[in-house]
């Protein structure tokens, strides 16, 4: 019971902090979005290296490369093929433009996303030397193979990196054309909940990199982390975040531009994906000692890291508590079904509160993005006008998704126990 109450208290405090920051920054955000495309600097101010790690991405890579080619500015797109079995390489070669292809071959392939990204460093250095680029003006970005940037991304990234104190930038993340309720949940999770968490982290100077839409300054990051900046954790983006914080690098979050990615259709794929993420979080525990005793990492960054580390553990314990308390309550009042029903209704209403607020914020945020003409595909905004049934289902899924994700935590724990460390990539829809 105590563990459950602790988990609920932490969750409620987290939600109210996110709501408060959202409310205080909403007017400024709307004002900024009115000038979402207005560039303050020359679009060719920086040279961008776009890294796309690929493992059997033939279904999506062609569209992603076409979209990246259409963006303004100087760039080199590097497709990193991790020994794909499909036509990924053929699809990539069919697109004209500043595209390089790094092909990894077995048995030295499929050793993790971090290794795949590190394999592109030689190509980055070759292009810098060949084009005689200033390393301080080179920006390295990481996109999923299905990732597509909003049309104003380069402008906003240029504005961000114009500040010499900014070493890395994370863009807002959105799901691509959500149709099913499960996809809508993922869109709300990324476009709203994760967005609000990043706003909180901005106040703590503890912005975390996501796997998609992360960019960093070549000169400062490679100087601090060497020629192999990515580690081998299954959550390589958060591991890179910790390594940057340990070296005093500054990460900024930009919410006026976004990267969209494909949402998952099936619960099975979602559980598998989240199990990998959870295990990757546990992988990063190896940095706990270094973070704790570091004089470079700020107190707020340390607190954010501790919370990130301990949250899955609290969630696991809280889920077991919920299961136990639910069955205990039912058996205790089995002879009084009316009371059980009334309690069930009250708990349902209370649990729906936070899901309702997140869903309403989601609809408002879609409208703001639509008015700013940031829409990558019109289907991205189909959820602006929710029908009652769709809204109730979305609210319900947000409120009770922890029941599904409980299995992800169990799987990640099991994988840690048996020493399973391979990268279980989620297949495309």
- Tens of pLDDT along 299-329? 999 999 999 999 888 888 887 887 788 788 8
Higher pLDDT, 76 or 394: 76
Would the pLDDT of 180 be above 80? Answer: yes
Secondary structure of the chain in HEC code, one letter for each residue? CHHHHHHHHHHHHHHHHHHHHHHHHHHHHHHHHCCCCCCCCCCCCCEEEEEEEECCCCCCHHHHHHHHHHCCCEEEEEEEEECCCCCHHHHHHCCCCCEEEEEECCCCCCCCHHHHHHCCHHHHHHHHHHHCCCHHHEEEEECCCCCEECCCHHHHHHHHHCCCCCCEEEEEEEECCCCCHHHHHHHHHHHHHHHHHHHHHHHCCCCCCCCCCEEEEHHHHHHHHCCCCCCCCCCHHHHHHHHHHHCCCCEEEEEEEEEEECCCCCHHHHHHHHHHHHHHHHHHHHHHHHHHHCCCCCHHHHHHHHHHHHHHHHHHHHHHHHHHHHHHHHHHCCCCHHHHHHHHHHHHHHHHHHHHHHHHHHHHHHHHHHHCCCCCCHHHHHHHCCCHHHHHHHHHHHHHHHHHHHHHHHHHHHHHHHCCCCCCCCCCC
pLDDT at 354: 86
Would the pLDDT of 413 be above 90? Answer: no
Higher pLDDT, 379 or 120: 120
Higher pLDDT, 287 or 423: 287
Higher pLDDT, 193 or 423: 193
Mean pLDDT calculated for residue range 205-211: 94
pLDDT band at 331 (very low <50, low <70, confident <90, very high): confident
pLDDT at 40: 66
Asked whether 410 and 323 are in contact (CB, 8 A), the reply is no
pLDDT at 1: 61
For the chain, the structural domain boundaries read: 1-429
Would the pLDDT of 201 be above 80? Answer: yes
Would the pLDDT of 60 be above 80? Answer: yes
pLDDT at 345: 81
Would the pLDDT of 78 be above 70? Answer: yes
pLDDT at 35: 81
Would the pLDDT of 148 be above 90? Answer: yes
Query: For 365-394, what is each residue's pLDDT tens digit?
Result: 998 988 888 878 877 776 666 777 777 778
Residues with Cβ within 8 Å of 331's Cβ and at least 6 positions away in sequence, in order, are none
Would the pLDDT of 4 be above 70? Answer: no
pLDDT band at 424 (very low <50, low <70, confident <90, very high): low
pLDDT at 426: 65
Would the pLDDT of 5 be above 80? Answer: no
Would the pLDDT of 110 be above 80? Answer: yes
pLDDT at 423: 64
pLDDT at 297: 98
CATH code reported for the domain at 1-429: 3.90.550.10
Phi, psi (rounded to 5 degrees) for 163: -85, 115
pLDDT at 157: 96
Phi, psi (rounded to 5 degrees) for 409: -65, -40
**Chain mean pLDDT for the chain:** 90
Mean pLDDT calculated for residue range 178-197: 92
Mean pLDDT calculated for residue range 337-366: 84
pLDDT at 42: 85
Predicted TM-score (pTM) of the model is: 0.92
Mean pLDDT calculated for residue range 254-281: 93
């Amino acid at each position: 019971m105590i563990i459950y109450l602790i988990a609920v208290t932490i969750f409620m405090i987290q939600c109210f902090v996110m709501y408060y920051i959202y409310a205080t920054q909403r007017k400024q955000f709307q004002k900024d979005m009115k000038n979402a495309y207005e560039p303050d600097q020359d679009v060719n101010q920086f040279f961008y290296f776009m890294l796309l790690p690929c493992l059997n991405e033939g279904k999506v890579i062609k569209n992603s490369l076409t979209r990246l080619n259409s963006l303004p500015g100087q760039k080199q797109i590097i497709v990193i093929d991790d020994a794909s079995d499909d036509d990924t390489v053929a699809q990539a070669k069919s697109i004209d433009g500043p595209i390089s292809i790094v092909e990894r071959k077995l048995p030295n392939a499929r050793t993790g996303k971090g290794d795949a990204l590190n394999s592109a460093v030689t190509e980055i250095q070759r292009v810098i030397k060949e084009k005689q680029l200033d390393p301080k003006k080179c920006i390295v970005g990481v996109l999923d193979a299905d990732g597509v940037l909003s049309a104003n991304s380069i402008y906003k990234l240029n504005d961000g990196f114009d500040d010499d104190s900014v070493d890395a930038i994370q863009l807002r993340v959105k799901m691509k054309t959500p149709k099913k309720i499960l996809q809508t949940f993922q869109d709300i999770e990324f476009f709203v909940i994760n967005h609000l968490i990043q706003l909180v982290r901005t106040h703590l100077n503890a912005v975390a990199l996501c796997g998609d839409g992360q960019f960093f300054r070549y000169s400062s990051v490679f100087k601090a982390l060497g020629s192999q900046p990515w580690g081998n954790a299954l959550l390589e983006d958060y591991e890179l975040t910790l390594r940057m914080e340990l070296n005093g690098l500054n990460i900024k979050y930009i919410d006026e531009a976004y990267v969209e990615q494909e949402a998952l259709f099936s619960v099975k794929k979602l559980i598998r994906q989240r199990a990998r993420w959870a295990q990757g979080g546990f992988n990063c525990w190896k940095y706990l000692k270094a973070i704790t005793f570091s004089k470079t990492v700020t107190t707020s960054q340390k607190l954010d890291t501790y919370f990130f580390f301990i949250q899955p553990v609290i969630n696991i314990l809280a889920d077991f508590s919920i299961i136990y308390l639910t069955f205990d309550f039912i058996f205790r009042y089995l002879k009084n079904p009316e009371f059980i029903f009334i309690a069930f209704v009250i708990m349902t209403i209370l649990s729906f509160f936070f899901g309702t607020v997140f869903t309403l914020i989601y609809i408002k945020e879609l409208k703001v993005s639509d008015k700013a003409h940031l829409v990558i595909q019109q289907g991205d905004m189909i959820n602006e006008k929710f029908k009652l049934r769709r809204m109730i289902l979305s609210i319900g899924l947000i409120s009770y998704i922890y029941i599904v994700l409980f299995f992800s935590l169990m799987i990640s724990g099991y994988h840690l126990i048996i020493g399973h460390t391979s990268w279980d990539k989620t297949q495309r829809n």
